[in-house]
């Protein structure tokens, strides 16, 4: 499955992570590319309404929010997880971008 980055900001975030965390993120993204829709826990989790999160474990837990669109995975937003829940700010941002992506169809 093809992976698309919604913005340069997402790619820069991944590139600026420390070496070990970046490697874990890339490994998880490669799993999504290889398996696509079939990727499940512990690597991927549905957040409902077509929004998903890729999950990396380790010292720095990174969350990558993405959607599927036209047979591709679109990575919308990335952040280092600091709390138990994903903040409403991050979810709301991802939902706005998701809506934009769906309107492009």
Burial of 65 (0-12, 13-18, 19+ CB in 10 A): buried
Instruction: Give the closest residue to 94 by CA, choosing from 54, 57, 60.
Output: 54
Q: What domains sit in the chain, N to C, each tagged with a CATH number? A: 2-103 (3.30.2310.20)
pLDDT of the residue at 69: 94
Q: What is the mean pLDDT of the chain?
A: 91
Phi, psi of 45 (to 5 degrees): -140, 140
- pLDDT tops 90 at residue 105: no
Question: pTM of this prediction?
Answer: 0.90
pLDDT tens figures, 33-91: 999 999 999 899 999 999 999 999 877 889 999 999 999 999 999 998 877 778 889 89
């Amino acid at each position: 499955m093809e992976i698309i980055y919604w913005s340069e900001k997402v790619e820069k975030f991944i590139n600026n992570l420390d070496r070990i965390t970046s490697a874990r993120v890339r490994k998880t993204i490669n799993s999504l590319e290889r398996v696509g829709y079939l990727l499940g826990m512990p690597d991927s989790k549905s957040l409902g309404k077509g929004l998903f999160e890729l999950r990396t474990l380790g010292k720095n837990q990174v969350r990558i929010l993405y959607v599927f669109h036209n047979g591709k995975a679109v990575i919308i937003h990335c952040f280092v997880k600091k709390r138990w829940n994903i903040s409403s700010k991050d979810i709301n941002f991802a939902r706005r971008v998701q809506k934009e992506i769906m309107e492009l169809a």
